[in-house]
Structures are given as structure tokens and as C-alpha cells.
Structure 1
Amino acid sequence: MTALTQRSDWARTAAARSWMTGIAVFVVVRTVGAWWLLYVGNRNHRTLHNMLASWDGQWMLALAGRGYDDIPAHLTDAHGQHSVDTAYAFFPGYPMVVRAVDVLPGFSTYAAAIATSLVAGAAATVAAYRIGQWCALRRWPADEARGDRAGLIMAVLFAATPMSVVLTMAYTEAIYCAFAGWALWMTLEKRWVEAGSLALCAGLTRTTAVGLIAVVLIAAFLHRRDGWRPWVGAAIAPLGWLAWIVFVGVRVGSPTGWFQVQSNGWDTRFDAGAATLRYLVDTLSLNQTAGDVITAWVILATMVLIVLAFVTRLPWQVSVYGTLAASTVLLSTGLMNSRARLLLPAFVLLTPVALALVRQSRTTQITVGVATTVTSAWFGAYMLGIYPYAI
């Protein structure tokens, strides 16, 4: 057996193992979260059904079931307003997939939305595993076992982030993280057409995709002499995001139409981080609500992770994407109490933590995994079952 054949066999085995392990991690961690969410909901007279479709989930279900021009009037923006353009602040990728699943026998729109998020959440967890494994093997090329451990730890950290409860909700985070995570891994693997295609899908899902698209474009440009594939990947990567921005712009009658809808409805606009700084100062000095205090600490932790991503010399694709994904949140205005959820797409910034833990004892790794799982379960249930504001 040649070395090339052995390497190919290992790659197939590693891929199968990553899928099995990643899915198992997602199921276990999110089952713990769902159990505690159900308990907290019962104690606070809220059903699991309603909590998993709360806040923006109502918008997603309406868009999937009725389209953009037939949204119920009770669905409003952050100011309580409802106009003919309000719905166009939401990208169409997730509702389109939910509608496609909804046509299957036995599926309601709600069931299709939750099923879509569950499948996408599991796929995103596998992507987190593969990214962690890839970074570990880049650092320790001859230690495949360490690469697998890093992947496992990364999968646990992703599935147990503070607001990973949204991976099981009628929200866009699960499907976006799946598209973005796999697009980033394809970029690391120099599989340009696949990376561009997944970036296109991510661009139809959330505006956060601009950071991902930038990474794919830069990486493809750096490998522009490797044939036609980098050119194709770069060409298709921005098409999803651009298509929606242009479509909304034509509808509103302005090239910046989507940004106007977002700004007018949800006060979301670039401010170089001024609103985030005010929120941190006010929350950590005055606020007594656990949801806001923990959100403030999540923001601070994210800033530290951005620094660590560069200090620990992660692959630039990982560091730059994580930084850009976080920056779209930290450098803009908007609903501050949603920041813990909005930062979830920057999950690759957890890679330095995974690489540090892989050098620790098995006991330490298990302790951290259990602690993060329990904390995530509590915080997610608190934010959906007790916290009174939108997440």
C-alpha cells in the first residue's frame, strides 16, 4: 500500500469519525439544553413550542409560510412599526429552506423550521470539529490523535456556547453557521468551487457573510495561479449577498435600501463600536439583569479571543473571518441584548481555547466540557424562559 493510499484511507476514516462525533456531541449537548429549557418553561408557564419560535422566530415562520408580502401586521420592527418593507430586513435563505422542507408529508411550517435548524446545527458542529482538527494538525502534523481531540473539544465548545440554544430554534444562526463553517473549511482545503458555493448560500442567509466572502475572495486571489477553480470560487462567493442587497435596493428605490430598512427598523448601523462601549459601561456599572451582565462578559470575552486568534498564530483565514464576523456585531448599533446570539457566527474564535485544552489532562477537558454544557443550558433557558427582552 502506497503512502498516498494510506493517506486517502485515513482521510476517509477521519471524515466519517468527524461526522459521527460531531453529530453525537450536538445531540448530547443540545438534549441537555432542551431538557432544562423544558423545565424552566414549565416553571414559568411557557411551552417549549412557543419558546423555540419566539421573537425573530415568528418572523421566520411567517416568511416561510406566507412570503414577504403577506406578513401579519402584529409582526413589527424594534419600534413597533410595520411597513411594506419591514420584512425585507430578513435575508431569504433560511425561510426558503424551511418552505422547501414544509412541502414534505407530515411537516408543518413550525416542524420544518425546527428540523432545518437541528440538521443545520449538527452540520455546523461537524464543521467546528473539522476546523479545530485542521488547525491542530497544522500545528502538530504528526499527531493525528491530538487533532481528533482538538476537533472534539471544538465541537463541544461550539455546541455549548452561551446562546447555542438558537441552534434548535426557528432562527438563522444554525444554517448560517453550517454554511460559513464548511465554507471556511473548504477554503482551508483549497476547494474553491465548494467554498464559493457555500459562501453564496451563507450570503443569502445573513449579512454577517460579508466577512466570510472577504476571506474566500482574498484566499482565492492568493491562489489565482492554481488554475480556474480559484477564479470560479471567487466569482460566485458574493452572489448570494449581492443578489439580496440589489433586490431590496430596487424594491426600496435606493442602492442602500436594505441598509435603510435595517437602520430605520432596528437602529442597526455602523458606529465604530460606540454603542457597544456604552452598553458595556452601563451594564457592568448599573444593570442588575443576569442576561445583560452575562452578555456584556460574552462581548468582552470575544474581544480577548480576537487578540488570542492572532497571538496564537491561527491560520489567517480563521483569524480574519472570526474577527470580521465579530466586528459586524461589535462595531454597530442595534439591540444590545441580542449580542450573545449575534456573536455565535464568530465561533471559530474559540479555536485557541480548544488548542490550549488539548494539551491539558483528560480530567480537565471533561470538566470544561461539562461546565460549558451546563452553563449553556442554564443561560439559554434563562434567556428564553425568564429574560423579558428579545434575544
Structure 2
Amino acid sequence: MRTDPTHEVPLKEPGPRRAAPALAAFAAVRLLGLGVLGVWGAVAGSSPHTLLSARWDSLWYARVAGGGYGYEVVLPNGAVHSSLAFFPLLPWLERLLAAATGLSYGSAGLAVSAVAGLAAAWGIFAVADLLYGRRAGVLAAALWAALPVGIVQSMAYSESLFTALAAWALYAVLRGRWIAAGLLAAGAGLTRPVGAAVVAAVWVAAALAWRRGERSWRTAAGVLLAPLGAAAYVLWVGRRSGGGLLGYLDVQAGWGNGFDGGWAFARFVGARLASSAFAAGLGLVAGVLLVLWLYRLCVRQRQPAALLVYAGVVVALALCASGYFGSKPRLLLPAFPLLLPAAVALARWRTGRAAVLGAVALASAVYGAFWLNGSGPP
């Protein structure tokens, strides 16, 4: 079998037929989650459509899609929540789809997320299949769908769109397709602030390729293209807000967001450990340790540098941000390389694999319905 001389992996193209089991597994898990949400809503008297498309960040994306930027909410303490905090690619797609179909912006966001979720599952499969084989690829896509906060993949949120762009950018990097990697990284940078993780992955992989003597204008082009999306939006926000290069950071500060190395999160956890919410504090500590352990497994698995850099930056930005502590599981959703060690381990099982996946998917579906009918994504 032919191999990529750079990465010494089989040259397999993850076409629709090869990826079909992964897409089917992803769709089955997500449909289970939506089915349980529908039953829960019927019992609780809530609207699944409203929960998925017209609450929390979904409303902000819809406002941008419908009226552009400029909407603000001033809180009693004087803090300003500005729509400029939300990157533009999802609302652009919502606006285009709504104009073409007559859907509401929220419903258009659900449609975009549905397609993007399939694209993300396909990209995750492509990366895992390339590195560890088809069975591991199918399981990686299924595990990503069955994460405890996997219901977000079915919301009018940007996580699915971002993960799709990130996964395919990483696949392009692994194949040495630098222009495609740069363009996809630029798209990721127009989707979420954590697009910086994709840019970093492209740059580190390109630097290693350059060091190995693999130098071409395509590599340089990919490096130059990768940050353009995020840079363009951040610079535009700075100009619009009058804050210059730091304008976007000022916008995020209005939402209580920042990067403090995890100090605020540590104090948040410590406060729970020192209160009647001790069990919740222990759960948070266990969750953080689990994420760090999974990343250690990725390193021991000798994942390519691009995946380690990407996952490391996603984890660092999620755990070390200073605001909205309840969002951290959702912010970790794009860190799919953390699932690859589990996918490879499950792929080696001869029996019991389906039962484990079924149980995990059902637990995810029930938790997702409970979560959305409770506090939900901040």
C-alpha cells in the first residue's frame, strides 16, 4: 500500500462509502439525543426547538444574522454584553440559508449545525482512520457524538461548525495539503476565538516540515493563510469599537471573559470544596484530572504534533479562561483528539463494544435533555 513519505501512514481517502459507518453512528447517537429531548420536553412542557435554537448564544447569533453587529445589553453592574463577542461565520451562514429557504434564523442555525455535525464526524473519522484505521475512526466519531454535552452539536451554536473546520484542517495538515489546511484554519478563525488552536497546529506542523527539508511555496501559503480569518475579524472589531488591537479583548472583558492561567477557575473550585457543594467541587477536580490524563494518553500514543498542539491549546483556553465556568465542558467539545486513545482501545475489543457505546450514548442523551431543561449552556 502506498504511504505518505512524510507521515508514514496509508494513503486512504475517506470517501462517503468508507465514512458511511461513522456518519451513521454519529447520526444514530444524535437522533437518540434529540428523541430523549423530545420526550423530556413533552413531559416537562418545554419546547425542544426553543431550547435548541432560541436560547443563550443561539439568540445572539440570530441577532447578528438578522441585524448585523451593534446589539448590546448593559447589565446593572455596568458590564456591557456586546454582539461583537460572537465571530461571524455561523451568522453569515444562517443569513444565507434563511434568505434561500425562508427559515427563521434560529431554524437556519439548526440546519447549519446538523450539516456541520456530519461534516465534523466525517473529519474526525478521516483523521482517526488515517492514523489508526477505519474501526477506530468509526468509534471516534461515535464517541464524539456521545460526549456528555454532545447535545450542543445539535444546537444553533458554533461548536459543530468549528469542529468540522478544525478536523478537516488537521487532516489536510497530516496529508501535507497546506493550502487547504490554511484555508480551513482561516475559516475556523472566523468561527470561534479558539480558532487560534488550529492556526497554532498548522504553524507547528509547517515548521516541523520545513525543518525536515520539506519546503515549498504551498507550505508558506498555508502558513500565511491560516491566521487571516481570526486576524481580520479581531482587527475589524478593534476598529469598530475604537479599542485598537486590544478592542476584542475589551469586548470579551465586558462578558467577564479573559485568560488568567486558570486562577479564577481554581478559586471557583476551591470555593465549592470549602462549602456545602463539596461533592460538586470534587466532581470538577475529577473532571480536570480526567482531561489532563486523556491528554497524557494522547502524548503517549504519539499523536502527530499538529493534533497535540491543537488539543493542548483548546484545553488550555478552556481551563484557563476566567469566566463562565459552566461553559467549560462545552468549550472542550472541539478537543476530539482526546478521544482517540479510547477509540483505539475500543477498536481492539472483540465483544461488548456495542453495549458500551449504547450505554454511553443513552447516558449522554438523558444528561443532554436534563441539562437543556435546567441551567443549559451559559
What TM-score, normalized by structure 2, do the two folds share?
0.90
Confirm or deny that 1:114 pairs with 2:110: yes
The yes-or-no answer on 1:280 pairing with 2:277 is: no
SS at match of 1:104: helix
Residue pair 1:179, 1:199 contacting (<8 A) in 2 also? yes
**Post-superposition offset of 1:286:** 4.3
**Match 1:232 to one of 202, 215, 221:** 221
Out of 153, 161, 177, the residue aligned to residue 147 of structure 2 is 161
Matches of 1:211 and 1:376, distance apart in 2: 26
1:1-391 to 2 correspondence within 5 Å?
A: 11-12=12-13, 14-53=14-53, 54-69=55-70, 71=71, 76=73, 86-136=82-132, 147-224=133-210, 225-254=214-243, 255-264=245-254, 266-283=255-272, 286=275, 297-363=286-352, 365-385=353-373, 387-388=374-375, 390-391=377-378
Q: Find the residue that maps to 1:171 and give its secondary structure.
A: coil
Gaps of 5+ in 2: 3-9
Q: Note closer, same or farther for the CA distance 1:284–1:47 as it changes in structure 2 (3 Å cut).
A: farther
86 and 289 in structure 1: CA distance in 2 versus 1, 3 angstrom threshold: farther
Distance 1:342 1:327 in 2: 10
SS at match of 2:157: coil
Q: Give the number of aligned pairs.
A: 367
Deviations 1:270-319, CA, capped at 9 Å, x for gaps: 11111222333444664659998766644332121111111222222111
The letter of the residue matching 2:153 is L
CA contact (8 A) 2:97 2:108 kept: yes
CA-to-aligned-CA distance 1:179-217 (integer Å, 9 cap, x gap):
011101111111101100000000000010111101101
Q: 1:301 to 1:245 in 2, by over 3 A?
A: same
- Distance in 2 of aligned mates of 1:338 and 1:78: 20
The AA in structure 2 aligned to 1:263 is A
Pair 1:130–1:295, CA change in 2 (3 A): farther
**Alpha-carbon separation, structure 2, partners of 1:317 and 1:346:** 12
TM-score (norm 1): 0.87
How far does the alpha carbon of each residue in 1:356-385 deviate from its partner, in whole angstroms, 9 at most, with x for none?
22222232x212211221121112111101
Letter of the 1:60 counterpart: Y
Seq. identity, %? 34
Pairwise CA RMSD: 2.5
Contact 1:18 1:130 in 2 (8 A): no
- Flag the 1:221–1:316 CA change in 2: closer, same or farther, 3 A: closer
